[in-house]
Chain A
Amino acid sequence: MTAFLVRRAIQAAVVLLVMSFVIYGLIGLMPGDPIDIMIASDPKLTPADAARLKALYGLDLPIWERYVNWLSSAVGGDFGYSRTHNRPVLEIMGPHLLRTLILMGISFALSVAIAIPLGVWAAARPYSFRDYSVNLFSFAGRSVPPFWLALLLIFVFAVWLGWFPAGGMETVGDGSLADRGWYMVLPIVTLTLLNISGFTRYVRAETITTMRQDYIRTARAKGVSSRGVLTRHALRNALIPVVTIIALDFGTVFSGALITETVFAYPGMGKLIFDAVMTNDYNLALIGLLFATLVTLVANLGADLAYVGLDPRIKLQ
């Protein structure tokens, strides 16, 4: 087990290293660095200004040299300054990261909390009206474009009904817990509606599969009530693969939040990374994206571990 974890940790480190190179290269390959754009938008800038600014931000060096410089200071724990914000990367990232984790964490927990009973409920009577309704609901959730759903919710609940704020993170000057929670309702509902459908489907499918297993039949034969079978035997076994899937899904936490954060003007990680990439803010984009990669890797590892737990025939190696 320890050997397995160590090997995976080494593999993860290698993936991160390779990814840092790939990301750096990709951002570097993107045409039009910000100084060029600055030149195009300000007729007063001279070619000399452009050359000076490029040198100032280190953009005049060849890309591999910049990468090596970045890597050597990053290994030493210095992740550098954000070019656009003129502040240390971690200082910028901290609050954004926290906001996204809170937003995504709550909506994840909520989705799971709703999806499990819903899926099991549907699985108890496969192909019944109830099952079809749950199916329809869960498929509907994953069949709308996210930004469309978000805008729709804003227009119904903020503009027409006026129940919730249309976007932002707090009433400036208030900022109490209740106030912040109020602002998070619509983004959380959006994300939950999008997540819940997939989870429900997994739970349902797993429960149905488990119910067909021999030991469930045995339990039934022994006279355990069907509700008892469902909750005590089937659910527990069905949950493991569900956890696997959810762990995998968590890897997309930042990219998943981008659209919601954009439409709701919620200053989180997804938007931060997007803007950093769009403005060639190397240090910020790199650390943001590497962090996202790390989350994915950890989630995958979690998924693998859960998978092994499920199926004793597959061994760690």
Chain B
Amino acid sequence: MSVAAAGRNEMRRLRVRRFMRHRLAVASGIVLLILVAAALAAPLVERLMGVDIRDVDLGHILKGPSLAHPLGTDELGRDMLVKLLYGGRISLLVALAAALVSAVIGTLIGLFAGYYRGRLDAFLMRFTDGVISLPILPLLIVLAAIDLRKVGLPQSLVQSEDISLYRIIFIIGLVGWTGVARLVRGATLSMKEREFVRAAQALGARNRRVMFVHILPNIVSPIIVATTLSVGGIILFESTLSFLGLGIQPPIPSWGNMLSNSQEQMTTAPQLMIWPGVMIFITVIAFNFLGDGLQDALDPRAISD
């Protein structure tokens, strides 16, 4: 084993130890794993419980918890537990996918801005400013109305109910990258002054190589941290969009639309609002703790967020 490899292993062990020290983060990680597993198992649970989430049972609406329905039924007599699991699938999928899209876009823009500096930097950063202040509302409405067949998407996709899902992911990804871009730019700026980067440049490495081989691996920690922390924010944002009537639409359940659709029944059937609210709360706080723990482990000096 080479000295370098030993060092790397040592580093990894140190990081794991630092992460494990953050007990809330460890607990959060476990909670999230359980949540993801439960969400993935939704169709299985549905079959095991012998319920059909797409059918209604108007004779049994808003029933309390029972053996057949551990969390009771919703306003159309559907099983609340299964619906909650399906909602989690959607909310987690949207949040993770959108966070990933944002991270990729943000990293690229930040890297280029920080590395090349000068005019490109000024342009990209003002562009970022612009996107930060971009009014998301009209954007959402415009995108909700675009005829996707004209954009060249296949008919089967356009007709599917899932399309509202992809729209949300696309929109959040499109405007959510600014934080990562700023972060990566800052990190690239300071990384560029480091000796090993200068050495690589002096040895004639091409810019692209320097950026992606020498700089990027060294700033990946803050990116991971920021992305993890952003997942929670996206889940909240999705619920806010539902509140404004621009989120994911029924019949696809998401925690966000389950929560906002229950406000009218807030006092009559509080369980409709409590369950998705609690799920959102637990998930978001878990992602935040996880991000916090990762930060401690990977990047103890960085400013969070």
Does chain A bind chain B?
A: yes
Residues of A within 8 A of B (CB): 11, 14-15, 18-19, 22-23, 26-27, 29-32, 127, 132, 135-136, 139-140, 142-148, 151, 155, 159, 198, 201-202, 205-206, 209, 241, 245, 251, 255, 259, 273-274, 277-278, 285, 289, 292-293, 296-297, 300, 314
Pairs A-B, 10 closest by C-beta atoms:
A143-B284, A293-B133, A143-B285, A26-B138, A296-B133, A31-B145, A145-B239, A147-B243, A29-B142, A139-B288
A277 touching B138 by the CB < 8 A rule?
yes
Complex partner residue of B139 from A26, A201, A205, CB under 8 angstroms: A26
Residue of A nearest to B291 (CB): A139
Task: Determine whether the beta carbon of A296 is less than 8 Å from that of B129.
Answer: yes
> Which chain A residue lies CB-closest to B282?
A143
Docked CA distance A26–B145 (Å): 12
Chain B residues whose C-beta falls within 8 Å of the C-beta of A140 in the assembled complex: 281, 285
CB contact between B305 and one of A30, A202, A289 (< 8 Å): that residue: A202
B259 touches A148 (CB 8 A): yes
* Cβ-defined contact, A146 with B145, below 8 A: no
Q: Is the CB of B126 within 8 A of A19?
A: no
CA distance A198 to B285 in the complex (A): 13
Mask: chain B, 212-228; 1 = CB below 8 Å from A; 0 = not: 00000000000000000
Whether A139 contacts B289 by the Cβ 8 Å rule is yes
- Tell me the minimal C-beta distance from A22 to chain B in angstroms: 7
List, in ascending order, chain A residues with CB within 8 A of B232's CB: 142-143
Nearest Cβ on chain A to B31's Cβ, whole angstroms: 13
Q: Chain A residues near B288: list those with CB within 8 A.
A: 139, 142-143
Interface string of B223-259 (1 = CB under 8 A from A): 0000000001100100110011000000000001001
Contacts between chains A and B (CB distance < 8 A), count: 126
Contacts of A202 in B (CB 8 A): 303-305
Residues on A with beta carbons closer than 8 Å to the beta carbon of B30: none
B153 vs chain A, min Cβ distance (A): 18
Query: Which residues of B are interface residues toward A (Cβ below 8 A)?
Result: 21, 24, 122, 126, 129-130, 132-139, 141-142, 145, 189, 232-233, 236, 239-240, 243-244, 256, 259-260, 263, 266-267, 273, 277, 280-281, 284-285, 288-289, 292, 301, 303-305
Q: Is the CB of A22 within 8 A of B134?
A: yes
Chain B residues with Cβ under 8 A from A30's Cβ?
A: 138, 141-142, 145
Whole-angstrom distance between the Cβ of A183 and the nearest chain B Cβ: 21
Determine how close the nearest CB of chain B comes to the CB of A259; give it in whole angstroms. Answer: 6
B136 partner residues in chain A, CB cutoff 8 A:
255
Residues in A with CB closer than 8 Å to B266 are 151, 155
A-B contact pairs, 29 of them (CB 8 A): A15-B130, A23-B135, A23-B138, A26-B142, A30-B138, A30-B145, A127-B21, A132-B24, A139-B292, A142-B233, A142-B284, A142-B288, A143-B284, A143-B285, A144-B236, A146-B236, A146-B240, A147-B243, A148-B259, A148-B273, A148-B277, A155-B266, A198-B305, A202-B305, A251-B132, A259-B243, A289-B133, A289-B135, A292-B133
Which residues of chain B are within 8 angstroms of A143 by Cβ–Cβ distance?
Answer: 232, 236, 280-281, 284-285, 288
Q: In whole angstroms, how far apart are the Cα atoms of A151 and B243 in the complex?
A: 12
Closest residue of chain A to B237 (Cβ to Cβ) is A145
Task: Choose among B126, B145, B273, B304 the residue that contacts A14 (Cβ–Cβ < 8 A).
Answer: B126
Report Cα–Cα, A155/B240, bound state, in Å: 19
B145 contacts which chain A residues (CB < 8 A)?
A: 30-32
Distance from A270 Cβ to chain B, minimum over Cβ atoms (Å): 11
- Return A170 CB to nearest CB of chain B, in Å: 25
Is the CB–CB distance between B133 and A201 below 8 Å?
Answer: no
Chain A residues with CB under 8 Å of B133's CB are 19, 251, 289, 292-293, 296-297
| B256 and A145 within 8 A (CB) | yes
A273 proximity list for chain B (CB < 8 A):
135
CA A19 to CA B292, docked complex, whole Å: 35
Of B138, B236, B303, the residue contacting A206 (CB under 8 A) is: B303
Chain B residue with Cβ nearest A201: B304
Q: Are A147 and B304 in contact (CB under 8 A)?
A: no
**Within the assembled complex, what's the spacing in Å between the Cα atoms of A22 and B129?**
14
Which single member of B21, B240, B263, B305 contacts A151 (CB below 8 Å)?
B263
- How far is it, in angstroms, between the C-alpha of A208 and the C-alpha of B259 when the chains are bound? 38
The reply to whether A144 and B281 form a contact with Cβ atoms under 8 Å apart is: yes
B138 A135 Cβ-Cβ under 8 A: no
Closest to A148 in B: B277
Q: A22-B130, A148-B277 provided; 5 other pairs, C-beta below 8 A? A: A135-B24, A142-B232, A145-B243, A147-B263, A300-B129
Most buried by B among A145, A146, A273: A145
B267 contacts A155, C-beta separation under 8 Å: yes
Do the beta carbons of B301 and A209 come within 8 Å of each other?
yes
For B138, the chain A residues whose CB sits under 8 A away are 23, 26-27, 29-30, 277, 285
- Residues of the B chain whose Cβ atoms lie less than 8 Å from the Cβ of A206: 303
Q: Is A205 a contact of B304 with CB atoms below 8 Å?
A: yes
Rounded to whole Å, the gap between the CB of B293 and the closest CB of chain A is 11
Contact for B126 among A11, A209, A274, CB less than 8 A: A11
Taking the closest CB of chain B, its distance from the CB of A157, in whole angstroms, is 15
Chain B residues with CB under 8 A of A23: 135, 138
Of the listed residues B243, B260, B301, the one surrounded by the most CB atoms of chain A closer than 10 A to its CB is B243
Given A29-B142, A139-B288, A201-B305, are A145 and B129 neighbors across the interface (CB < 8 Å)?
no
Contact partner, B129, options A32, A205, A285, A297, Cβ 8 Å = A297
On chain A, the residues within 8 Å of B239 by CB distance are 145, 147-148
Max chain A C-beta neighbours (<10 A), residue from B259, B284, B303: B303
